[in-house]
Structure 1
Amino acid sequence: MQIVNFEPRHAQAWKQLNEAWITQLFKIEPKDREVLDHPKAKILDHGGHIFMAEAEAGGEAIGCAALIALPDGGFEVAKMTVSEAARGTGLGRLLMAACIDRARALGAPRLYLETNSSLAPALGLYEAMGFVHLPPRETPYARADVWMELIL
């Protein structure tokens, strides 16, 4: 497995990986559609980053995660998922480490994320990586009921 920067060839996998987990548990919301249909325009062109996990160099995409630039210089970790076949392999930890490493290298003050309390494995990973819970706040996502932050 390897973590690589998003390239145009990843666009379909980016969309499919995220649609798979979201529709399995929730529903696609307008904010999802924006970033899934237009990752370059909505994430990359605004100073964000997308990581893709490949089974092998240039191979099948089996996971992804995005860093969406925030006004304070931090990043929101978003659309992090691993294909069902690759779950339990430590790939989620590798993707989160790539997010943390990139944010630190760019001098970001923090990482922020929104998630759902039913996603126990994800919550466990975030807590293990040092994220702490925040009070509720406004969000464009109906499914978000957990807010977390990692000060870098």
Structure 2
Amino acid sequence: MDSVTIVPFSPQHQAAFKQINVEWISDMFTVEPHDLEQLDHPEIHILPNGGEVLLAQHGDAIVGTVAIIRTGPDEFELAKMGMKKEARGLGIGRLLCQAAVDYARKMEAKRLWLESNKKADVAVKLYESIGFVHIPLRDSPYARANVHMELLFDTLTT
């Protein structure tokens, strides 16, 4: 996808970030309070302490999003990965997921984790293909979370 650029979040992207995520979540699940906290206020719930939102831009349009949220001194959560309907199946999710992995690695993370749902089988297969492995479920702020995965970074790799 050479016509897609991965760009960092700026306040002008907040509406697209929210709209894309509310759309995909609503298609399969219920938008939950924790979703709205993050989507309405990424400057409070995502960006502090080295967190980031990355966006896939095609021309002037934002067509996909992913958030990387610091959850500990050397770990991040991959969250809020979504695509506009017309951009699904084009490899943009792989670009965003790889950009999130690269970002976490650059931030010297030892662990990148995520929560998902078995109904999002395309996303789960994507995560598996990138190297995420399934781990036991843990408490989650999301009722829909029934998949928990992580990617551990080799601490010897520079």
Which category of TM-score, normalised to the shorter sequence, fits these structures?
over 0.9
1:3-152 alignment, distance < 5 Å: 3-56=6-59, 59-152=60-153
In structure 2, what is the Cα distance between the partners aligned to 1:24 and 1:90?
Answer: 20
Structure 2, unaligned runs of 5 or more: 154-158
Secondary structure of 2:143's match?
A: coil
- Equivalent residues, number: 150
* TM-score, length basis structure 1: 0.96
Secondary structure of 1:88's match?
A: coil
1:52-80: CA deviations, max 9, x gaps?
A: 11112xx1100000001012421100000
CA-CA distance at 1:45 after TM superposition? 2.2
In structure 2, what is the Cα distance between the partners aligned to 1:50 and 1:13?
Answer: 12
In structure 1, what is the Cα distance between the partners aligned to 2:28 and 2:131?
Answer: 26
Secondary structure of 1:144's match?
A: coil
1:4-55: CA deviations, max 9, x gaps?
A: 0001110100000000011111111111010010011111123211001111
What percentage of residue pairs aligned between the two structures are identical?
A: 47
* TM-score, length basis structure 2: 0.93
Structure 1, unaligned runs of 5 or more: none
Provide the aligned C-alpha RMSD in A: 0.8
| Deviation >2 Å, runs of 4+ | none
In structure 2, what is the Cα distance between the partners aligned to 1:77 and 1:14?
Answer: 15
